Amino acid sequence: MSTQKDRLSLIIPNFKESPCVDKVGVEERVARFQTRSIKAEAKAQGLRMALNMIDLTTLEGKDTPRKVKQMCYKAQHLHSVCPGLPNVAAVCVYPSMVGVAKKAVGDSGVKVASVSTAFPSGQAPLSVKIMDTKFAVAEGADEIDMVISRGKFLSGEYNFVFDEIAAIKDACGKTRLKVILETGELVTLDNVRRASDIAMYGGADFIKTSTGKIQPAATMQVTYTMLQAIRDFKLKTGIQIGMKPAGGISNSKLALHNLVMVKETLGEDWLTNEWFRFGASSLANDVLMQIMKAETGVYQSTNYFSKD
Amino acid sequence: MERLKVLKTYKVYIGGKFPRTESGRYYSPKNAKGEVLGNICFCSRKDIRNSVVAARKAFGGWSERAANNRGQILYRIAEMLEGRKAQFIEELILQGSTKVQAEKEVVLSIDRLIYYAGWCDKYTQVLGSVNPVASSHFNFSMHVPTGVVGILADQKTSLIGLISLIAPVIAGGNTCVVLASEKLPLCAITFSEVLNSSDLPGGVLNVLTGSCSEMMKPLTTHMDVNAMIYSGSDKSIVKELKESSALNLKRILHYDLDWMKADSQDLYKLSDFQEVKTTWHPIENIGGASSSY
């Protein structure tokens, strides 16, 4: 894994010259990923892998400590009827709930991710964002999910966005930083590519598509563009960056298509929850239902799976 | 020059849309004279899966819809069917009925829909009850729909058997997935077209065609199906139905009736797919006739 020191020695490119994205080409390539024939055995393996990559998420104004505890319980006991299932990768909560979540997951290996920097809009002064981040880190968050300033980005102030990411990375210390681009607000794939580059040079350990509050969220086109940016960054600098599509991936089929895309774009190195995550709340149950369908041969009902 | 024939493509009805079967397969049933009825979708378990998802999605809205509105929609189906009588008669004749039989069957089907349309906003009053209890509670029972119902339609008839089974099920606020008669599938598909133009929300009724023996298993074992109906006399099917339904304790109903008879319709066909909900409502102790006020 890279350290911030490695990152500091990089020569920062001119982000105005980030590569352009061929939208038609991306769409065609993405359509191909959806036609791969996945056989039963590979599917079973893929589903377990997907399950293990999920960040169970609750980011609502109405979140209560009980709700967070319940979700953390679910993260560790996905479907007790079926022994041997992996846990999800992490739970993702607001900074105020990090303490509760951290205690609830204990030493189960499930990580606690916290959104920060005035999530979801990011419309706050830098000092507030840094405080927000430091609070979450002090509460014990293992990962920080920050949002970029889309307003600044869209008005062309790339250096502002870059500096902000670098400042938050400093505030994180050793905690891994995911940078949310909120691609639904970035309008074009060219912008997605540029924002990805800024985030990676700025200090992101992960880049993440969306907050989940804006539609469209993690479309395959957007994810593919970001994966390409990650690949180019790795080739250029040797630093590996993780990817997290979030929002809109609600069924297993879509999750499997995403895994195929990761494998064919970046290779197997990324196929662990160290480097690839799904930000989703309803995906877990659908994956579980598919796994149970494969185990029992019988189509399942949501009635027999726990709510989040 | 002879005009080229315009043949109808028979598709299936899932979630208010007319897709082809997911499997891409078809079969060509023939009538007694050896004439091909059409190329009919030979559905697979994945079509069952999609249909059950559609039916479950539609259940909330349909079951909570005002009872009289459900009645109006059922009546509307009957109206639409009335307007397309000739097409159904033609299809029944192609499938082996005589003209007289065919006319009788279509008219009876329309009347049967109207019969159950009438029950929609009345059955809860007739079936429900206020129960005497020995405590200060107002205790009452009412009927609520069972959920998603799988229907193995009558194999011997094309239209009346189908309508006699689905009308009471949807009148009672359930949604359903129907496997049409394997050898006589035409009316089931054409009836879907009637449904599609009669305000019935998509997904309430889903119609599939193909082999009953192939699709029975995924339907009857499906954990999200709450009840099953079989119309017919095949003992092995009844046995299999009972065995697979045990998985999630589905309600199973087996009718072996002549649907052309007038007495094959009654309120109990409707109450067969209702669950009884009893409520204990605490009240002040109200004195009865014998109390000493």
pLDDT in tens, A36-50: 999 999 999 999 999
Whether A298 sits inside 8 A of B222 (CB atoms) is: yes
How far B214 CA sits from the closest chain A CA (Å)?
Answer: 14
Is residue B293 very low, low, confident or very high in pLDDT (cuts 50, 70, 90)?
very low
C-alpha torsion angle, residues B73, B77, B79, B85 (rounded to 10): 180
Active-site positions of A read 145, 208, 244
Q: What is the mean pLDDT of residues B86-113?
A: 96
Q: B52: which chain A residues are within 8 Å (Cβ-Cβ)? A: 299
In A77-125, where does DSSP find H-type helix?
98-105
For chain B, which residues lie within 8 Å of any Cβ of chain A, measuring from their own Cβ?
48-49, 52, 218, 221-224, 247-248
Whether B224 sits inside 8 A of A301 (CB atoms) is: yes
**Distance between CA atoms of residues A52 and A72, nearest Å:** 14
How far A244 CA sits from the closest chain B CA (Å)?
Answer: 29
DSSP B2: P
Is residue B6 very low, low, confident or very high in pLDDT (cuts 50, 70, 90)?
confident
Whether A297 sits inside 8 A of B221 (CB atoms) is: yes
User: What is the per-residue pLDDT across B211-268, written as a single tens digit (0 to 9) for each?
Assistant: 999 999 999 999 999 999 999 999 999 999 999 999 999 999 999 999 999 889 999 9
Query: CB-side exposure of A63: number of CA atoms within 13 Å?
Result: 21
Q: What pLDDT was estimated at residue A26?
A: 97
Q: What is the mean pLDDT of residues B169-187?
A: 96
How far B225 CA sits from the closest chain A CA (Å)?
Answer: 8
Looking at domain A4-304, which of 3.20.20.70, 3.40.630.30, 3.40.50.10540, 3.10.25.10 is its CATH number? 3.20.20.70
**Of the candidates B168, B212, B209, which has an alpha carbon nearest to the alpha carbon of residue B18?**
B209
**Distance between CA atoms of residues A291 and A51, nearest Å:** 10
DSSP A200: H
Q: What is the mean pLDDT of residues B273-280?
A: 96
Kindly state the percentage of chain B with pLDDT values over 70.
97
**Residue indicated by tokens 């599938």:** B185
Q: Which fold has domain B26-259+270-282?
A: Aldehyde Dehydrogenase; Chain A, domain 1 (3.40.605)
**Of the candidates A90, A88, A152, A104, which has an alpha carbon nearest to the alpha carbon of residue A126?**
A152
Which stretch of DSSP H or E encloses residue B164?
helix B160-171
Q: Residue A173: how many CB atoms within 10 A of its CB?
A: 12
Every domain of chain B and the residues it spans: 26-259+270-282
Bridge partner residues of A279 (DSSP): A55, A246
**What mean pLDDT, rounded, does chain B reach?**
93
Is residue B120 very low, low, confident or very high in pLDDT (cuts 50, 70, 90)?
very high
- Number of CB pairs < 8 Å for A and B? 23
In B, minimum Cα distance to A300 occurs at B223
Query: CB-side exposure of B93: number of CA atoms within 13 Å?
Result: 10
